[in-house]
Structure 1
Amino acid sequence: MITEEQIQALQSEMEANGENQAQMAYRILEEMIVTLKLPPGSKISEKALNRSLGFGRTPLREALQRLAIEGSVKILPRSGVIVSEIDLADQLNMIEVRRELEKIIAGRAARLAMEDQRRVFSKLAEDFDRAAEENDSTIFIETDREFNALSIATAQNKYVAYAIGPIEAQTRRFWYLHFKRFGDLSRVTKLHAHIARAIAANDEAAARDASDRLIDYVEEYTRKTLQFMGGM
């Protein structure tokens, strides 16, 4: 779970990146929800968050509104804010949409990546390889976050960026809850490395194909999870 030290580190990183308080509050709250510091079904107290995170009412409410749009929380009149349950049965529907969006992002990123971006993608591929070799989920999570952000920025399509945001948020929650039991870290990490290398090579066809192979695997382990949990 995210600790106070990690929250402070996130705040320092975001301040260095020039993010405003609403953006900072969103990222911290999203991390707390994903890592179960705020588990499904729990009630969120704005006053408690204000005390622990140090943000004002307006940035917190903007962050909560964004999380509500993504489906991570529910804002209930006169009842406050509740962390949403994870809808297991809806995961495969989400993967169907995610497959097409991810393929668009990977293809456009490969086509449009400039030299400096290609260098970063090459470095990310190496980091994914290191995560696989060391079987280190922390390295994977940090690398994956940077990879996703760079891919979306490189793809230069605001409509895809808006569409993929809520899906990424719910994917992270599902991953955190179930991947250690049903997933293969080495395999998923290597699949990410293939996409990163294809983008670095400006190979659009290979990037789209590698994206498909990743989603094939995501669907495989999701079905395995749902079968075990009785969701299929």
Structure 2
Amino acid sequence: MLNFDLQNHRPLREIVYEQLKRQILTGRITPGTRMMEVELAEEMGVSRTPVREAIRKLEKEGLVTIEPRRGAYASDISVRDMVDTLEVREDLEGLAAALVAGRMTEEQIDELTRIAKNYSSAIKNSETEKMIHYDEQFHRYIVACSGNKTLVQISETVQELALRFRYLFYDDFSRYENMPVEHRQIIEAIKGGDAETARTTADNHVKRLKEFVIQEGEAVFNHQ
């Protein structure tokens, strides 16, 4: 049930929408799950109206599929979906790294390094939630430091899609274990101040993940 005491200053439909969206993105509502208005309303302690509105909004974002006479379902994810998102991430994160190369303050570099170290610790301790959190935070922080509002807005949408992949497939992809080294390489490239080197390093980081998904993704999907 929702905690309305903490959020009662916001419209109910927004709270319900964000809760359902978060559940889909984090895999609590898995792909193909039927989105039953009555059950969701009871579970969240609300009427069906805000749930119905949330489902329609999530359909527009591609997270829910509504089929005539069959109802609403959490949208499926394919290898193609993952590759599409990673292709966009590749260019966006390369651009972000190029923009911040040589321009990040010492404090910002220290913060990015701290995030990278937390990510490495999470991998060593097999803490999946923390791995996902710090991996996402690492890339968001670089984009935020660019100061480019348009890039931040576009990246936010792409990161949300990527978040769904992380939660669904993190345990299966040993690829993530190699990322601490690549994160350090990105930091060093940014510190080095050469925009093209930083862009290429960040590009290659996502490109290697994309190639891994193409090679191993179907096998992982077949086990879902």
Structure 1 and Structure 2 fold alike (TM over 0.5)? yes
Deviation at 1:215, TM superposition (A): 1.2
Work out whether residues 191 and 213 of structure 1, in 8 Å CA contact, stay in contact via their aligned partners in 2.
no
Q: Per-residue deviation at 1:69?
A: 4.2
Are positions 1:203 and 2:197 aligned together? no
Q: CA RMSD in A?
A: 3.9
Number of the residue aligned with 1:123: 114
| Superposition map of 1:1-232 within 5 A | 25=16, 28-53=19-44, 64=55, 67-75=58-66, 81-110=72-101, 112-196=103-187, 198-199=189-190, 201=191, 203=193, 205=195, 206-228=197-219
**How much has 1:94 moved relative to structure 2?**
3.3
Q: How many angstroms does 1:38 deviate by?
A: 1.0
Which residue identity lines up with residue 193 of structure 2 in the other structure?
A: D
Give the match's secondary structure for 2:73: strand
- Relative to structure 1, the CA distance from residue 151 to residue 27 in structure 2 (aligned partners, 3 Å threshold; closer, same or farther) is farther
Pair 211,82 (structure 1): closer, same or farther in 2 beyond 3 Å: same
CA contact (8 A) 2:34 2:73 kept: yes
Between the aligned partners of 2:93 and 2:40, the Cα distance in structure 1 is 33
TM-score normalised by L of structure 1: 0.70
Secondary structure at the residue paired with 2:171? helix
Q: Is the 2:34–2:74 contact (alpha carbons within 8 Å) kept by the matching residues of 1?
A: yes
CA contact under 8 A between 2:79 and 2:218: conserved in structure 1?
no
Extract structure 1 runs of 4+ deviating beyond 6 A.
18-23, 55-59
User: Contact conserved, 2:132 with 2:167, CA < 8 A, in 1?
Assistant: no
| 1:164-214 deviation digits (Å, cap 9, x = unpaired) | 344333333333333423433320243234334544x37353432331221
CA distance in 2, matches of 1:226, 1:137: 19
| Equivalent pair of 1:69/1:166 in contact (CA under 8 Å) | no
Q: Using the alignment, how far apart are the partners of 2:23 and 2:61 within structure 1?
A: 15
Distance 1:115 1:56 in 2: 51
Q: How many residues align?
A: 220
2:151 counterpart letter in structure 1? V
The 8 Å contact of residues 79 and 214 in structure 2, kept in 1 or not, is answered as no
- In the alignment, structure 2 segments of 5+ residues that lack a partner are none
Aligned residue for 1:180, secondary structure, equals coil
Structure 2 CA distance, aligned partners of 1:143 and 1:97?
20
- State the TM-score, normalizing by the size of structure 2: 0.72
Matched-pair contact (CA < 8 Å) for 1:105–1:155: yes
Measured in 1, the distance between the counterparts of 2:136 and 2:62 equals 19
